Structure 1
Amino acid sequence: MNEAARALLLRLDRLRTTIAALVESRSADDPTAQDPLRGLYVSADTAARLAAAPMPAPPSPSPSQSQSQSPSPTEAGAAPTELPLDESELLFGPDDRLALLAGNFGLGELDELILLVALAPDVDRRFEALYGYLNDDVGRRRASVTLALDLAGTGPYDPVARGRFHPAAPLVAKGLVVLEDEERPLPGRALRVPERVVAHLLGDDTLDGQLGGWGVELLTPGGSAPDDGVAARIALAQRPVCVHLRERRAGSGADAVTLALRGAGRAVLRHRPVSTGHGEHTGHARHTDHNGHTDHAAVRALLREARLRGAGTAVVVELPDDQPGPLVRELAAPDVTVVFAGTQPYDPTWAPGAALLALEDTAVETDPLTAWSEELPSYEGDLAEAVGPYRLGAGQVRLAARGALALAGFEGVPVGLGHVQRSARLLSAPLLDRHARRVRPAVGFADLVLPAEPLGMLHELAGRARHRDRVLGEWRLRTGGGRGRGVVALFAGDSGTGKTLAAEVVAGELGLDMYVVDLSSVVDKYVGETEKNLEKIFAEADRTDSVLLFDEADAVFGKRSEVKSSHDRYANLESAYLLQRLEAFDGIAVLTTNLRANIDEAFTRRIDLIVDFPFPDVELRAQLWRSCLAGVPQEPGLDAELLRCAKEFDLAGGAIRSAGVTAGYLAAGRGGAVSAEDVRVGARREYVKSGRLVPGVGLAWTP
């Protein structure tokens, strides 16, 4: 038996002594004391006796005095519990968790005794029979309000004592005692102590199971001491503080503050939003009940857990995207350090009665490479190059690194680039499926056939995405005006020249998913709706890691026109919104257009790279034919025919690929290899599809 449990049993033994005296006092003048059916009914004689009894006068001794005057266990005839000899050291020493709890929760002597009376049946079942007798009902084996106050030397007629059960009183408001039987008057309501409180008083420090289902994680102290900055000042504060930390990117500030608190030797209760399970991430999913109201029980349990663990324990909460006010009001406690982190600006109406500090997280950004290095010390290769495209917080980095290690262990190989990219992609994948189509890249630079200049610019685009935090952040090359750290490129060229393929190659090189924006679901005929849809896409792309592709971007990034009608004015407003949004964009976006002149010049100024995709010449067309048919069986001498087709048929890369697919189907249909005739048929059909004259044939259809 641990010392905390022995201290609590000593208190209960003394309580049993007081109960024994009360039993003896009541049974002395109770004519039904020897009745074997006592408690199952109330006789007329008993009712008359109770009705004729005068109201008791309020006693003068305090609860502590009544305890000191109680007879010893031996005097009361009760068998004493086996306890250590030095009872006073346990009862009032560091192992007496009830005394420590009273200090952490701001309880008075009367509160402390009420709590002890209420939890007694949860520790020693003999109290059930005693309480059943004293309640005159063998079925009610928990202490009632009246019984608890009787044992404390007062009663429900005392307004001060009665006020200890008010919803705003510490016992009830802080989740230590639950009043049951709502239909009964207050004096008859039963008292129940949550199991987590009982377990804590017995020496159990396991996290409340209710909190685990609510997205709360207990993080023990550990790590390096915090450096100077906002996070360090929060962690080293001498008294509890309540802070709203506005994050530049979801999770960044919460991760930094959590690391600082743990480095300062403080335990952290970290609450992360959980998803609804319907394919959409909503930060308020588990903050509310089925009716959309704040889950008061879960919030009360979170603060109770922090208080049970002592003054050094802090709570870090990632705020929901929608209506965070109720959660802030519930958790803004003056005696617990609570940090609310979110991308929303601070609203004073969230918690008007709380002293809430509003801070920005510009100074609490952490170096994710340090966390990656700590988690993957055996990684072979350039770790900075591998993780550069990902903007994960320190907590997410640890999850991703452990996922990469688990994946490599499952495959039985050392952790490599593919493991890191796959694990990080799972954590950073945005939920854009409503307005965009996800493409999991399956191509690389080896699949691109381009001239040296555009190919080099694509490599540069990947490098910008990897090193933007260093160049724009550490080296301070980002201009002011609230500009983001996004990378935006424009791919211009004729249809079929490889613009979309190049975007997929860049995404694959960075280890990111590509999302192709579905313009049909974005553009809306109603004024302002297009901007709202675009904002949802940009906001989700800002907070996660992906490549956003606006194919045929002319539809939304076209030139502004002279205002001649209301339609022109609203179209120009849409362009103005996009110009402003690109300035603050933090993600990676690629715009494609068939005609560069269609893009407004104001957009081109905000674009980092413009890559022109030229129409392929003969040499490039020959390379495209060979690349397209590299994996198919070929008849001897096919390469010469590919070169002739490259000279005769003026086709772009997309058309050459379509012609190659046609040739493949023709060969598969007859069960043989691709022949020169198959290739020529495919090329002719692409010419006919585009309405062009087939060399030597005209417009005749070639079977």
Structure 2
Amino acid sequence: MNDGYSDSAEHLAAELARADRLVRAQVLWFRHELGRLKPADQWGLPSVGEAEVDAYLAAEGPPEPPPEVVAELTAAHDEAEEIAARVRVTTVPLRLSTLVERCGLSGAERDLVLLCLLPGTDGRYRRLFGYLADDATVTGPTRELAARIVPGPSPLSATGPLVRHQLIVDGPGGLRLDRRIAGFLTGDDTADDRVADVLTVASPGPSLDELVLDPAMRARLRELARALDERAFVLLHGPYGAGRRTLAAALCHETGRPLLYAHVTDPSRVDLCRREALLRGAALCWVDADPALGVDRANPGLTFATAETPWDPAGQGTGSGFLRVDLPAPGYGPRRDLWLAMLPPDAELDTPPRKVLAELLANTFQLTAGQIADAIGSARGAAKVRAPGTAALSQDDLYEGCRRQAARRLVAFARRIEPRTELGFDDLVLPTANRVQLDELRARITLRSKVFSELGFDRRLSLGRGVVAMFTGGSGTGKTMAAELLAREQGADLYKVDLSAVASKYVGETEKNLDRVFADAEQTNAMIFFDEADALFAKRGEVKEAKDRWANVEMAFLLQRVEEFSGVVVLASNLRQNIDTAFLRRLHAIVDFPPPDAHARLRIWRGMFPDAVTAPGTDELSRLAERFSLSGGSIKNVVLDAAFRALRADPAATAVSLRELVLSVGREYQKLGLPITPGGFGTPFYEWFGEELLHG
């Protein structure tokens, strides 16, 4: 009874010994036919002697092998049966058998692999193959010699596994075994150096239960894992950081397969990557796969591909094995769970409790798992710059880390508004009723993710999941400041759309530009601010000429795109009555910013002076507030102009006088085209202005 092989080396030695018999048989046959007729001084030369020609002409058919050749071939056949019997009872992995099975080699193809391996294990065979080829430059079996030693259909057909998997290379010195295959058979598991820089062995993947997934999605993926076979090609489509590679590892974990990641941009390396996966018995995952590389062709094993842009292979039919799994950006609930899983412990946070912080971050930033991990890494860097001696992360650090993941192309059509960190909602002067409107908007922005995700409205509403608000009021009443404060409260960037860059005279270009603004804002989690919105969202008119028709098409696109937007859009307009009524229906909130009354103006005057500047007293500021009906923006201009005026008079000044403020009010009136009269300014304000600025 045969015992199994103790290891792969013992089995390979037995197979090489059998291959040696095949070579010996060919040498004996060569000596019997050509060798006895070849002059000694003609060996290795391309010459045919008269005796050789006469022998060929005298032969009546193919020569019969001499008895000694038959004996070697019979012994090789018997050894093949004995080896096969021992392999059947072997309990350890055998590399040659693994290669045969995974590459689908026939017996003849396996024997050719062994013949090509012989010269690498013993230098004598390089001379023997040169002798058999009657060519001293030959060091391996030639195609003709291989056909004599391994009779039957050619094992080197163009579509056969030896060529398809690049196991054997045909060179000027004859056939040779690819160096990676030779290394594999002899116990070397070093990756092929031609693809070592593009292949990565995946760490043991998490189970599906360890991933943050919607329960229904987890159940579907578990069913998918059970159904995967060696012919499956699975495209994992989703945005950056959606967990495509992690999911591939998890599916392999469920099926007990190792996984290789391949980052390939060169088509010549595709087949080598496939072969490396075959040798390792691993699934292969093409990272950021480009279908132009041919990665979607028939693969010998389980294959994954990750892509941000979905694609389907051409020519797929029944039984193609192609599957596409779409991985959308996580909703509010999964985002919150991801933040809770990735945030450091409370001891390392200088923030609200982790649970509260996770809810705030998940509500504001629509990030994927990978982006959340990157954001936390960026936040750690920001914390070290802010306070090198501490490792504690603040809420602002995390907001900054999230915003850094958001920076993309919005700069082409929008300008980021830097927040004024010292100002808050208390500094925004509004009547009580309008303040309530603004507070309702703040709550809607803060709670929108919970309402749609946790209360289930996202399953009822396909559109209108964002927040669209309009601020109406005159110039300088605080509309831009309110938008800044909303963005800062959420930790998001505020981008003011540049209407001059967006609008185009060419048909369709304005729509393209606006679509890019909204798409980039969704990717960057930014808040969009349209100032002078009535320029874009004006009422549609009657179509009287071609330009009217295109203006209406542009407006229709805007209405659709705003409703599809999942973020926050704030529009500011001085002329609410000019806004299209169809757009007003899509607004979630309208906040009016009326001109400030005297009491509100006094609050603005008092709040406009920094701590380093001494302002006039309350009574004097009250006189200004009562006398001059200025907006908050104009009051800001007046105070700033007065500061320059004070420093011009005295470079060491740290106070602004009432007189300097009155003079600056006069300049603001001139700029706005308002009349400067004794009745409007009163005494002595008009006299001050006349003495210094009218008469010099």
TM-score between both structures, scaled by the size of structure 2: 0.74
**1:371 corresponds to 2:338:** yes
8 Å contact kept, 1:579–1:603: yes
Aligned pairs for 1:59-78 (under 5 A) are: 66=76, 69=79
- Report deviation, 1:14: 5.3
Cα distance 1:200–1:20, how it changes in 2: closer, same or farther (>3 A)?
closer
Which of the numbers 375, 378, 381 marks the counterpart of 1:400?
A: 375
Q: Is the counterpart of residue 684 in structure 1 residue 681 in structure 2?
A: no
Q: SS at 1:437's partner residue?
A: strand
Residue 205 of structure 2 corresponds to residue 221 of structure 1: yes
Equivalent of 2:636 in 649, 657, 672 = 657
Given the alignment, which residue of 131, 141, 146 partners 2:143?
A: 146
Q: Larger % of helix: which?
A: 2
**Residue 202 of structure 2: SS of its match in structure 1?**
strand
Identity %: 28
Could you say which residue in structure 2 is the equivalent of 1:693? 675
Q: Which structure 2 residue ranges, 5 or more long, are not aligned?
A: 57-61
How far the C-alpha of 1:558 sits from its partner, in A, is 1.7
Name the CA shift for 1:397/1:363 in 2 (closer, same or farther; >3 Å): closer
Q: Does 1:675 align with 2:645?
A: no
Partner of 2:364: 389
Greater alpha carbon shift after TM alignment, 681-690 vs 450-459:
450-459
* Shift of residue 653, structure 1, vs aligned partner: 2.6
Answer whether contact 1:329 1:351 (CA < 8 A) is retained. no
Deviation at 1:490, TM superposition (A): 1.9
Q: Relative to structure 2, which stretch is displaced further, 90-99 or 392-401?
A: 90-99
Q: How does 1:101-140 map to 2 (within 5 A)?
A: 101-112=99-110
Displacement of 1:355: 4.0
Pairwise CA distance, 1:129: 6.2
Change (3 A) 1:568 1:378: same
**1:244-323 pair list within 5 angstroms:** 244=235, 252=242, 254=244, 257-258=247-248, 261=251, 264=254, 295-310=266-281, 313=283, 315=285
Deviation at 1:98, TM superposition (A): 4.6
Q: Secondary structure at the match of 1:420?
A: helix
CA-based RMSD: 5.1
Superposed CA deviations along residues 548-602 of structure 1, whole A, max 9, x for unmatched, are 2223222322211111111111110111112222222223322222222222121
Offset of residue 431 of structure 1: 2.6
550-559 vs 459-468, which moves further: 459-468
CA-to-aligned-CA distance 1:241-292 (integer Å, 9 cap, x gap): 3345665x665473784475266365686979xxxxxxxxxxxxx875xxxx
Amino acid at match of 1:648: R
Aligned pairs, number? 640
Check if 1:413 corresponds to 2:391. Answer: yes
Alignment check: 8 A CA contact 2:476 2:633 kept: yes
Cα distance in 2, alignment partners of residues 119 and 541 from structure 1 = 60
Counterpart Cα distance in 2 of 1:687 and 1:47:
117
Which range moves more in the overlay, 492-501 or 572-581? 492-501
Q: Residues 428, 21 of structure 1: CA spacing in aligned structure 2 closer, same or farther, 3 A cutoff?
A: same
SS at match of 1:161: coil
2:169 and 2:176 in contact (8 A); partners too: yes
Determine if contact 2:202/2:258 at 8 Å carries over to the other structure: yes
| Secondary structure of residue in 1 paired with 2:412 | coil
The verdict on how the C-alpha distance between 1:528 and 1:702 changes in structure 2, with shifts beyond 3 A counting, is: farther
State the alpha-carbon separation in 2 of the partners of residues 606 and 630 from structure 1. 40
Output the amino acid matched with 1:372: W
Alignment of structure 1 residues 335-484 onto 2, 5 Å: 335-338=301-304, 342=308, 344=310, 349=314, 351=316, 354-357=320-323, 367-379=334-346, 380=349, 381=353, 382=356, 383-405=358-380, 408=383, 411=388, 412-443=390-421, 446=424, 448-451=427-430, 452-455=432-435, 457-458=437-438, 460-478=440-458, 480=460, 482-483=462-463
Q: Is the 8 A contact 1:583 1:606 kept in 2?
A: yes
Following the alignment from structure 2 to structure 1, what is the Cα–Cα distance between the partners of residues 340 and 123? 57
Structure 2 counterpart of 1:154, which letter? V
Structure 2 partner of 1:192: 178
User: Structure 1: which 5+ residue stretches go unaligned?
Assistant: 73-86, 273-285, 289-294
Structure 2 CA distance for partners of 1:25 and 1:394, relative to 1, 3 Å: same
Counterparts of 1:583-662 in structure 2, within 5 Å, are 583-631=563-611, 633-635=612-614, 637=616, 641-662=620-641
TM-score relative to the length of structure 1: 0.73
* Paired residues for 1:28-39 under 5 Å: none
Q: Deviations over 1:432-473 (max 9, x none)?
A: 232223345453762741325555555554544444333113
